Amino acid sequence: MAKETILIVDDDIRNIEFLRDSLLIPSGYRALSAADGEAALDLALKEEPDLILLDLQMPKMDGFDVLEALHREGREIPTILITAHGSESVAIQAFRLGVRDYFPKPFKVTEIMGAVERSLAEVRLRREKQELTERVENINRQLEQKLKELTILYGVSKSVTSLLDPDKLLTRIVEATMYVTGAEEISLFLLDEETQELQLRAVQGVGEHEARPVRRSADNAVVRQVMSTGQVAMIQTARTRKTDPLQATLAVPLRARSGTIGVLHATNKMAMEPFSENDPYLLSVLADYAAIAIENARLFAEVEEQRTKLETILTGSEDLIIVTDDDGLVLLLNPAAANAFCLEKVEMVGKPLLEVASNEALDQLFRLPGTGNGVRNLEVPLVDGRTFYASLSPVTDVGWALIMRDITHLKELDRMKSDFVATITHDLRSPLTAIQGSLRLLPQLGQLNDEQADFAKRAMRNVEHMDDLISSLLDIGRIEAGLEMEMSAIHMDLVIEEAVSNLMGHAKSKGLVLRAIVLDDLPLVTGNHMRLTQVMTNLLDNAIRYTPQGGSVTVRATAEADHVTVSVIDTGVGIPAKAKARIFDKFYRVEGPQAEESPGMGLGLATVKSIVEKHGGQVWVQSKVEEGSTFCFTLPRLEASGQGA
């Protein structure tokens, strides 16, 4: 228990000694004493005892005078009055002056000690209450301060997301910094990206007017130090007297992903209070907000620039460009696309593309199975007579991108080429048949010598080769015209098996491994047996032809929800990237030693493409030079799989 101080006031030294030495000190109290009223008042004012034991009659100043004087000084010290001349009126006056207890002399020791204990217990209680009240008030003050800081930080954080003008936001941040720290001057410096110099971008406080115009460069050593180290700096000057003003500086870095991009700087030149422990934290939070705002503004400017570029490209493009979400609702499109469908942009955005465009081929494009990277391609004729080559690609987190290129002139050329080929082949056939007939008759006209027989044989081989070419061309013509294309349910596994066994001898003679890996229970497809065998033979023949000795050719067949995919994978010479786009064109052959070494007309893959597309499937190639090629094609599954055949 804390030692409480009790002042004994009595003009009789024996009373003082008795109370002090026999009662109070043995009970653990600290005792002071005064033998007259004046000395008592002095001691009471100076020492502020917890309790006064006060005699009434004393020379110079009596007990009441002491009480009144203390009252006047505003000191409410609990007092117990002890007097030899007690009366009812004395007691009344004493209680009026705030006396706790009143004892006529002679008193009983137990009574006095009881009264002392009671009074001090009250004093203790009162003191505890006061301490508690002070603590609560203190906590309240801290809470109010925190609330104020939070409100300001919240306000600034809202500005960070809503203000895109960085200058306005930086001004708001320095204002907020000044408010929460109470500093005299706040400045915010940013690194100029071009000159790599620190420039003052916002300022508040005493230096505000001299600092205009802002963007002054930073000549402050602390600011430069924070910029180079990226660490908070707090410097306070020592002062000799508590009443001297205090010079203090607090600077924190503005940190972005790229590193330190500026400094927030607070200074006090005439302050009486130093920066608080909390101030570096508050300043750092505000600096973070400033950094975020600047990053946002930069990103916004970049995005805006990209958007403008994209807009220009979209607007200027002659290709039709449409982006939809996963459900096919139009997100954006370019003017060429809106024109092609004879609609305004606003009539299409937000609507289902297939509904507003109303085009059968487009419907089919969205239903097609995707190639390796999910892209689907199809020719799409429009009502205005133009034909477009449409490419539909999935875009992660967006939906679909549809790009359509006008190929009307290519279609026309293709048609002209087909017409020309049809005419020419027809016209070439008759003279060739005549030459063939003449060559066959030649030996009957007389014995040919060896040299003549050799010439005639070579002429016959060339005529047969030309006949093959004409047959192939006529064949493509028939496929394109949809002739000889009766469809039925086909076991693709059997078609693959047949083609593989036909070419096994050829593969072995070239020292290649040829194998087929076919899914058990491969679903039936709708197709033409003869044409699908032709597809497999052409692809396998190429794979064997363009794979050097020691390599392998593998056929794989898998099933998806609505189609079967067949792949012919070789470890051969591969196809250069620039040739891939034209590989399925008629008469196209990759230039180089292989083309020269192997005979061919460049019609094999064109035939494959025509047949697969006539089946409603797609064909594509993936290849790497000197690693190999994979040709894949899809065929729609027979709807009621397992029936028919």
Binding site for ligand ADP (CB under 6 A): 542-543, 546, 570, 572-573, 575, 583, 588-590, 594-595, 600-606, 629
Can you say whether the dihedral through the CA atoms of 133, 136, 138, 140 is positive or negative?
negative
CA atoms within 13 A on the CB side of 493: 11
Pick the closer one to ligand ADP by CB: 18 or 588. 588
Using a CB cutoff of 8 Å and minimum separation of 24, what contacts does 370-374 make? 370/394, 371/618, 371/620, 371/632, 372/620, 372/622, 372/632
Q: Which two tokens stand for residue 8?
A: 């004994």
Tokens 């502020």 correspond to 48
Closest distance of CB 454 from ligand ADP, Å: 27
Closest distance of CB 514 from ligand ADP, Å: 13
Report the alpha-carbon angle 476-536-563, nearest 5.
Answer: 95
Pick the closer one to ligand ADP by CB: 58 or 606. 606
Pick the closer one to ligand ADP by CB: 301 or 625. 625
From the number of C-beta atoms within 10 Å of its C-beta (0-12, 13-18, 19+), residue 74 rates as: exposed
Closest distance of CB 409 from ligand ADP, Å: 24
Pick the closer one to ligand ADP by CB: 267 or 623. 623
What distance in Å separates the CA atoms of residue 637 and residue 527, rounded to the nearest whole number?
Answer: 9
What distance in Å separates the CA atoms of residue 155 and residue 176, rounded to the nearest whole number?
Answer: 9
Closest distance of CB 503 from ligand ADP, Å: 13
| DSSP element (H, E) containing 607 | helix 604-614
Closest distance of CB 256 from ligand ADP, Å: 51
Pick the closer one to ligand ADP by CB: 29 or 631. 631
Residues listed for the chain: 645
Closest distance of CB 301 from ligand ADP, Å: 49
Pick the closer one to ligand ADP by CB: 150 or 595. 595
Q: Which two tokens stand for residue 591?
A: 């230039």
Tokens 């007309």 correspond to 601
Closest distance of CB 303 from ligand ADP, Å: 44
Contact 37, 79 (CB under 8 A): no
What distance in Å separates the CA atoms of residue 183 and residue 169, rounded to the nearest whole number?
Answer: 19
Residue 349 makes CB contacts below 8 A (sequence gap 6+) with 330, 331, 332, 333
Contact 544, 512 (CB under 8 A): yes
Count the helix, strand and coil residues of the chain and give each as a percent rounded to the nearest 5: 50, 25, 30
Pick the closer one to ligand ADP by CB: 134 or 464. 464
Pick the closer one to ligand ADP by CB: 259 or 592. 592
Closest distance of CB 620 from ligand ADP, Å: 13
What distance in Å separates the CA atoms of residue 89 and residue 71, rounded to the nearest whole number?
Answer: 20
What distance in Å separates the CA atoms of residue 345 and residue 355, rounded to the nearest whole number?
Answer: 14
Pick the closer one to ligand ADP by CB: 322 or 557. 557
Closest distance of CB 604 from ligand ADP, Å: 3
- Check residue 73 and report its DSSP letter: T
- Check residue 61 and report its DSSP letter: S
| DSSP element (H, E) containing 431 | helix 408-441
Cα dihedral angle (600, 606, 609, 613), rounded to 10 degrees?
-150
Pick the closer one to ligand ADP by CB: 119 or 542. 542
Closest distance of CB 606 from ligand ADP, Å: 6
| Phi (first) and psi of residue 241, to 5 degrees | -115, 150
Residue 162 makes CB contacts below 8 A (sequence gap 6+) with none
Pick the closer one to ligand ADP by CB: 323 or 605. 605
Pick the closer one to ligand ADP by CB: 293 or 553. 553
Helix (H, G, I), strand (E, B) or coil at 467: helix
Closest distance of CB 557 from ligand ADP, Å: 18
Q: Which two tokens stand for residue 1?
A: 């228990």
Closest distance of CB 291 from ligand ADP, Å: 56
Q: State the amino acid at position 140 in one-letter form.
A: N
b/e per residue 557-587 (b: at least 16 CB within 10 A): bebeeebbbbbbbbbbbbbeeebeeebbebe
Pick the closer one to ligand ADP by CB: 97 or 601. 601
Pick the closer one to ligand ADP by CB: 42 or 468. 468
| DSSP element (H, E) containing 634 | strand 628-636
Closest distance of CB 621 from ligand ADP, Å: 8
Closest distance of CB 573 from ligand ADP, Å: 5
